[in-house]
Amino acid sequence: MIYIDYKNRSPIYEQVIAEFENLIVKGVLQPDEKLPSVRSLAMELSINPNTIQRAYHELERNGYIYTVKGKGNFVAAKENFIQTKHEELWNSLRGLIKDAKGAGISKEEIRQRIELFLREDGSND
């Protein structure tokens, strides 16, 4: 279901969070769909249950999932996270553009690259 890179320097729990955020934001996991149980996922990934627990807890705190004790973890309603996610993206983008300008890249070159990236693989709109 999700992929973890054990060699990666970033903490495992953050990778788990990122993977699920991704699946949820993209709609692969639909609202109210059940996530793997803490224990089963831990087993599957050969990871300690505590680590999964922590990841799920963070996901809940950020509005991506909700927890029902004794039942499991489920994908939250779209409204709970979509706006936050977009704002995060805009902030990152803004910082990057600022850096690019700081590095002496011209506006026109930025525009051209953006168009390039926009045309790659997928296509919404």
Q: Which residues of the chain form contacts with DNA (CB under 7 A)?
A: 11-14, 35, 37-40, 46-51, 53-54, 56-57, 67, 69-73
Q: Dump the DSSP string for the chain.
A: -----TTSSS-HHHHHHHHHHHHHHTTSSPTTPBPPPHHHHHHHHT--HHHHHHHHHHHHHTTSEEEETTTEEEEPPGGGTHHHHHHHHHHHHHHHHHHHHHTT--HHHHHHHHHHHHHSS----
Does 79 contact its own copies by CB under 8 A? Answer: no
**Using CB under 8 A, which of 3, 30, 46, 104 touches its own copies?**
104
Q: Say how many CA atoms lie within 13 Å of 15 toward its Cβ.
A: 14
Does 46 contact its own copies by CB under 8 A? Answer: no
Does 34 contact its own copies by CB under 8 A? Answer: no
Does 99 contact its own copies by CB under 8 A? Answer: yes
- Nearest residue (CB) to DNA, 35 versus 75: 35
- Nearest residue (CB) to its own copies, 30 versus 123: 123
- Nearest residue (CB) to DNA, 62 versus 110: 62
Q: What is the torsional sign of CA 14, 5, 23, 45?
A: negative
Binding site residues, its own copies, CB under 8 A: 6-7, 9, 11, 22, 25-27, 66-69, 74, 82, 85-86, 89-90, 92-94, 96-108, 110-111, 113-114, 117-118, 120-125
